[in-house]
């Protein structure tokens, strides 16, 4: 049998597959890239050929323009493409619309590169699909037992409750443009919030893309050209940076909320002046991470970007072979557009 590193190995440009001659989520321009999802630290412009799900390709052209790569190859669910004898397929990762785990097979060995993933239900994307493998490569964004996220319904319930409690104040929710914003909107709709939701201009194109892909967002209005304090009791969603800058001054005394897994850390909420922290994460929390490891039981787990130590320790205690890859260039949350 081949050594796993013969099939996939960490390099400064990202994970590289020597026999297939392609990279996964490379952080530098390369000839051939497999992209797991559209967040900017994983999906960069300037590659030769990009292999990704049709949704991820659509997200990349929305963000970078049609010319984001010389050529693109859409890999639909259930489809397999072969590169120099290495087969590549994409299985849903449950992270954001179009997000996928790259499943790499060669000479009887399967390596799954999960990219970013979560295990709880997300009404805006396909659920994570466990794939049996020899090596599972996992992120570690929330890789400590202290990161146990509450149910989404509870968090959205606190937002809805605050709207009834403070009907004279606009509720300004910071949410990343790809994935988080649309998920907050869908969760609000599921919680029975039928009023128009106001959005910052930076969210409009991705919102439309989600709708084209079948994620219904309900009535959405631009949060521009309004008299100050016009949106008392309404929900306004904006990229987190906009909630901190001049743009936000149009709202008199808003309730500032922020939807992020990091809102479980009080100091982070306080630092940003967030009055209503909403713990909504697109990344697996500790129970989801170790639950996935226990479910898959691969021969080896390779851990990347985030907090590796706690997960390495858990693996050691549970007789699971594991190592840290220490890849660089990936953020702890999506960077903003």
- Residues within the interface to Zn ion (CB under 5 A): 39, 116, 330
Minimum CB–partner distance for residue 154 and Zn ion (Å): 23
Strand partners, 16: 9, 23
CB 97 within 8 A of CB 55: yes
Minimum CB–partner distance for residue 1 and Zn ion (Å): 31
Minimum CB–partner distance for residue 37 and Zn ion (Å): 6
Give dist(CA 275, CA 254) in Å, integer.
Answer: 9
Q: Which is nearer to Zn ion, 116 or 234 (CB)?
A: 116
Minimum CB–partner distance for residue 334 and Zn ion (Å): 5
Q: Which is nearer to Zn ion, 240 or 254 (CB)?
A: 240
Q: Which is nearer to Zn ion, 116 or 152 (CB)?
A: 116
Q: Which is nearer to Zn ion, 142 or 258 (CB)?
A: 142
Q: Which is nearer to Zn ion, 25 or 234 (CB)?
A: 25
Q: Could you give phi then psi for residue 82, rounded to 5 degrees?
A: -115, 125
Give dist(CA 134, CA 293) in Å, integer.
Answer: 12
Minimum CB–partner distance for residue 14 and Zn ion (Å): 12
Minimum CB–partner distance for residue 88 and Zn ion (Å): 20
CB 272 within 8 A of CB 258: yes
Under DSSP, is residue 222 helix (H, G, I), strand (E, B) or coil?
strand
Give dist(CA 198, CA 289) in Å, integer.
Answer: 34
Residue in the block written with tokens 């397999």: 80
DSSP 81: E
Give the residue among 257, 249, 199, 258 at the shortest CA–CA distance from 229.
249
Give dist(CA 119, CA 92) in Å, integer.
Answer: 11
Q: Which is nearer to Zn ion, 39 or 119 (CB)?
A: 39
């Amino acid at each position: 049998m081949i050594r796993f590193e013969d099939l996939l190995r960490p390099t400064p440009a990202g994970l590289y597959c020597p026999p297939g001659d392609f990279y996964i989520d490379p952080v530098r321009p390369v000839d051939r890239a497999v992209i797991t999802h559209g967040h900017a630290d994983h999906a960069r412009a300037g590659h030769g050929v990009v292999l990704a799900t049709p949704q991820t390709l659509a997200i990349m052209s929305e963000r970078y323009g049609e010319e984001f790569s010389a050529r693109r190859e859409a890999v639909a669910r259930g489809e397999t493409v072969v590169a120099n004898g290495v087969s590549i397929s994409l299985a849903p990762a449950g992270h954001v619309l179009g997000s996928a785990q790259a499943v790499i097979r060669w000479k009887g060995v399967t390596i799954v590169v999960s990219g970013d993933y979560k295990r709880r239900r997300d009404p805006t994307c396909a659920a994570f699909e466990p794939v049996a493998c020899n090596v599972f490569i996992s992120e570690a964004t929330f890789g400590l037992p202290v990161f146990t996220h509450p149910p989404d319904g509870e968090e959205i319930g606190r937002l809805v409750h605050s709207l009834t409690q403070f009907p004279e104040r606009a509720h300004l929710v910071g949410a990343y443009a790809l994935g988080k914003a649309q998920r907050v909107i869908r969760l609000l709709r599921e919680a029975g919030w039928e009023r128009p939701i106001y959005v910052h201009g930076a969210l409009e194109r991705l919102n439309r893309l989600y709708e084209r892909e079948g994620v219904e967002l309900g009535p959405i209005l631009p949060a521009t050209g309004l008299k100050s304090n016009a949106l008392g009791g309404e929900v306004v969603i904006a990229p987190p940076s906009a909630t901190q800058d001049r743009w936000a001054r149009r709202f008199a005394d808003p309730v500032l909320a922020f939807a992020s897994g990091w809102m479980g850390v009080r100091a982070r909420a306080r630092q940003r002046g967030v009055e209503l922290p909403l713990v909504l994460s697109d990344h697996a929390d500790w129970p989801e991470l170790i639950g996935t490891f226990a479910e898959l039981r691969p021969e080896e787990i390779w851990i990347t970007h985030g907090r590796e130590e706690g997960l390495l320790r858990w693996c050691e205690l549970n007789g699971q072979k594991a190592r840290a890859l220490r890849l660089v260039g990936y953020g702890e949350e999506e960077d903003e557009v």
